[in-house]
Amino acid sequence: MGLVSSTGSNYYTNETLGSYQFTSLQNVIDQFMIAYVGEDKIISKIKRLDVVFHAKRALQEFSFDTFKCTKAYELVIPPTLAIPIPQDYVNYTKLCWTDASGIEHVLYPAKDTSNPSNIAQANTTGAAPYYTFNSSGDLDLNTESDTAAAYLGSTPSENNNSDDFDYDDELFNPNVGQRYGLNPAHANVNGSFYIDEIRGFIRFSSNISGKTVILKYISDSLGTDAEMQVHKFAEEAMYKYIAHAILSTRANTPAGLVARFKKEAFAAKRTAKLRLSNIKLQEITQTLRGKSKQIKH
Amino acid sequence: MAVDINKVYQRVLTIANKEQRGYITPQQFNILANQAQMDLFEQYFYDINQANRVTGNSTEFSDPLHILEEKISSFRINETLLLASTGKFEDTFDLDITGWTAVSGANGAVTHVVPAIGNNFDGGIKILQSANGAGISAESATFVLVAGDKYVVKYNLIDMSEPASYSILVEDASSSSHQFVVDEPAVGSFEFTFIADTSGVHNIEIKNLDTTNGSKYITIGDLSVTQVDNTTLPANLYRLGEIFYKSPGAAYPATVVEVNSNEMTTYNLSPLTRPTTSNPAYVRSGASSIKIHPTTLETGSAVTCNYMKTPATASWGYNVVLGDALYNSNTTTNFDLHESEEVNLVNTILKLVGIMIEDQSVYQAAANEEVKDIQQEKQ
């Protein structure tokens, strides 16, 4: 009856360590077919491929907002200040560079720049012909936009520190009223980045060049068979999600049944999130021990 | 477990009152017998459906569903490989052993065993080891295999004086072989599968590996090499059950789901629903064939099926002696149905006999019996 089938020596030498906390999507599908589909069950009959569809959709949805983010790349930013977006990238959760102590410094997105397509203009007078075309009849595009080149070439304002200290006193000039009205979103010296969605690159500000950057991102967990797995904390939520998805897309299903499973799916997902948020009493206690400390400015 | 066809025939003749109403010839009986057998057999599936919808009971022998399941259990064939309809090589050894040559013939003899009552009219090839303390083998004529394709070798060991061991090899032109060694020989039917490494001519070698000079032998009744094409359904299939796909190294097979061909087109369009080796699907591409998706399966995987076989054609065998049909058990094929169907078979055949001889009373009596049985069984 026990689920651990291999010996200790086999686990520590041949198996993926820590794999017991997960159950494969295939198992979820098989077990759903056993427990939910059949005579006298909630779903009397359904094609397995339909269940596979809903199970994969469930895995996608759970990957976006319930499962822990486990995918991370570490790389050194090249002189081009751009790295390609990973193959299975859906969105990033954190971008940071690490210092010599291994401490992460968060990079924030530069929302006020981009890398638009740079159309080769035939002349600057504004008269026809406006643009040049290639042999296929499509618009000629320059390799990089002027905007992107300017962003990459400029020294970020936070690194322009030459006037910060005037030797008149011990204070940095920006600290004497010059930061009034500063937008906190831009108030850091860590650097910035923006995502060039069209070309599939993440571009960084020039002060990140040569630094080690960590990209933490989420996928939809459907990239490979090996990553199609569900944490056991979220297994029940998967069943409920699939059941609700099937019932709600079928004709002639009693509305009460659909509503019941909608509630159950919601509750199960919330339980899964709570479990996966990994809250430990001792850790909360430790955090709250600092509650009476004076907030430093 | 089968129903003795001779008993049924005698009862039908007796009830039909052969002396007065008319004699039912064996040919007529055989036709009616199979009509009755198929009628009862087909009805099982609808009865199971009906029994599923009513509350059963938990008694050991009287639950209707359990009774029906037991009746059809002898027709169930499980986990059968899907083999091509024509074999790459086949020999029943009934007529002779032409095409077979003895290897190391000085160590014994390779001879033909003629079909006879003693071997149930199943001829064979006998490989006897009796000299020089070394094995002897028989090598077949050649046949062509294709590299990467999977094949199954099936054979019947019908007789032996137990040798220490024997082996069956499938060899290519360079003598590279797939070998099936049996260290504890026993009489019976056996099979093994292999994937051909090379394309081209191959042959089979049956080796008696005994070295005692003790006149140990094996007799193979028939032997065949057939491609596992994962497409062709068994020839005796009546109803197809589940198809299974077992990945190499997997502990358990996955069920291959059946979809219509138009559904398959739709499923293939979506990356989320497209069949994979983890969740394969199949379409029926003909009465005796299927097509599994994905179309490229893993090397070393196995596709098997469960199915309900067609009942064997019942036949009351006879020889004509002095103008009379005399029962011959050797050429008889009994009914495949469960023993409990004996009375039902008699009644059903009698109904047909009543129609045939235009005797309303025979038909009516048999029909009444049938109605009474149905009422008892399905109340």
Cβ separation of A50 and B273 shorter than 8 Å? Answer: yes
Cβ separation of A26 and B279 shorter than 8 Å? Answer: yes
Which pLDDT score, from 0 to 100, does residue B78 have? 95
Which pLDDT score, from 0 to 100, does residue A262 have? 97
CB-CB neighbors (< 8 A) of A39 in chain B = 52
Least confident of A186-190, A212-216, B92-96, B339-343: A186-190
pLDDT in tens, B41-90: 999 999 999 888 888 788 888 888 999 999 999 999 999 999 998 899 99
CB-CB neighbors (< 8 A) of A26 in chain B = 278-279
Assess A291–B contact: CB distance below 8 Å, yes or no: no
DSSP A138-178: PBPEESS-HHHHHHHHSPPGGG--TTS--SSSSS-GGGTTT
pLDDT in tens, A89-103: 999 999 999 999 999
State in Å, rounded, how far the first CA of chain B is from the last one. 26
Total Cβ atoms within 10 A of residue B214 = 13
Distance of CA A176 to the CA centre of its chain: 39
Which pLDDT score, from 0 to 100, does residue A163 have? 55
Cβ separation of B273 and A225 shorter than 8 Å? Answer: no
Q: Is residue A61 within 8 Å of residue A244, measured between CB atoms?
A: no
Measuring CA to CA, which residue among A68, A88, A89 is closest to residue A230?
A: A68
Q: Is residue B204 within 8 Å of residue B139, measured between CB atoms?
A: yes
Tell me which chain A residue has its CA closest to the CA of residue B279. Answer: A49
**Mean pLDDT, range B111-130, rounded to an integer:** 88
Cβ separation of A56 and B272 shorter than 8 Å? Answer: yes
CB-CB neighbors (< 8 A) of B259 in chain A = 47, 49
Query: Which of A134-148, A173-187, B147-161, B356-370 has the highest mean predicted lDDT (pLDDT)?
Result: B147-161
Which pLDDT score, from 0 to 100, does residue A203 have? 92
Q: Is residue B215 within 8 Å of residue B130, measured between CB atoms?
A: yes
Question: d(Cα B91, Cα B293) in Å, to the nearest integer?
Answer: 34
The two tokens of residue B330 are: 């050797």
Bridge pairing between strands B89-91 and B177-182: unpaired
Assess A48–B contact: CB distance below 8 Å, yes or no: yes
Is B111 a residue whose pLDDT tops 70? Answer: yes
Question: d(Cα B217, Cα B136) in Å, to the nearest integer?
Answer: 10
Residue A55 C-alpha, separation from nearest chain B C-alpha, in angstroms: 9
DSSP B85-138: SS-SEEE--SS--TT-EEESGGGEEEEEEPP-GGGTT--EEEEEE-STTS-EEE
**Mean pLDDT, range B321-331, rounded to an integer:** 88
Residue B273 C-alpha, separation from nearest chain A C-alpha, in angstroms: 5
CB-CB neighbors (< 8 A) of B257 in chain A = 47-49
**Mean pLDDT, range A154-178, rounded to an integer:** 64
Distance of CA A33 to the CA centre of its chain: 31
Which pLDDT score, from 0 to 100, does residue A158 have? 63
Least confident of A120-129, B269-278, B305-314: A120-129
Query: What is the model's pTM?
Result: 0.81
Q: Binning pLDDT at 50, 70 and 90, where does residue B369 land?
A: confident
Q: Binning pLDDT at 50, 70 and 90, where does residue A157 land?
A: low
CA neighbours within 13 Å on the CB side: how many for B65?
A: 10
Task: State the ipTM, two decimals.
Answer: 0.77
Burial class (CB in 10 A: 0-12, 13-18, 19+), B162: middle
Is B379 a residue whose pLDDT tops 70? Answer: no
Cβ-proximal residues to B313 (8 Å cutoff; 6+ apart), any chain: B34, B333
Question: d(Cα B245, Cα B65) in Å, to the nearest integer?
Answer: 29
> Which is higher by pLDDT, B15 or B121?
B15
Which pLDDT score, from 0 to 100, does residue B159 have? 93
Cβ separation of B257 and A49 shorter than 8 Å? Answer: yes
pLDDT in tens, B275-324: 999 999 999 998 899 999 999 999 889 999 999 999 999 999 999 888 88
Best probe of the A interface among B54, B278, B283, B293, by most A CBs < 10 A, is B278
Cα–Cα–Cα angle for B59, B64, B65, rounded to 5 degrees: 100
pLDDT above 70 covers a percentage of chain A that reads 89
C-alpha dihedral over A277, A283, A288, A293, to 10 degrees?
-120
As a whole number, the mean pLDDT across chain B is 91
C-alpha dihedral over B118, B119, B120, B125, to 10 degrees?
-150
> Which is higher by pLDDT, B105 or B127?
B127
Assess A3–B contact: CB distance below 8 Å, yes or no: no
Q: Binning pLDDT at 50, 70 and 90, where does residue B249 land?
A: confident
Is A270 a residue whose pLDDT tops 70? Answer: yes
